[in-house]
Amino acid sequence: MLNGGNVVLQVPVGWLADRLPRRRVLFGLAAATAAGAVLLAIAVQQGSLVLFALLFV
């Protein structure tokens, strides 16, 4: 799941970095990573579909 998200989301993130200020994109990705770390404990309890979706993103 991690590798799939890495491959699929590379193009949209690059597109955002080209269209928006790169620092804003970097800050947004860092915030999403921090939120994902917090949500990981919740996703484990919810079941594998939620966990796989979170790991993909």
Average pLDDT score over residue span 31-36: 93
Q: How many domains does the chain have?
A: 1
pLDDT reading at 26 higher than 90: yes
Q: What is the pTM of this model?
A: 0.75
Q: What is the pLDDT of residue 14?
A: 92
47: pLDDT confidence band, cut at 50, 70 and 90?
Answer: confident
User: Do 54 and 43 meet the contact criterion of CB atoms below 8 Å apart?
Assistant: yes
Ramachandran bin of 47, using left for φ above 0, alpha for ψ from -120 to 50, beta for the remaining angles: left
For residue 49, what are the domain limits?
A: 2-56
pLDDT reading at 15 higher than 90: yes
Give the other-Cβ count within 10 Å of 47's Cβ: 9
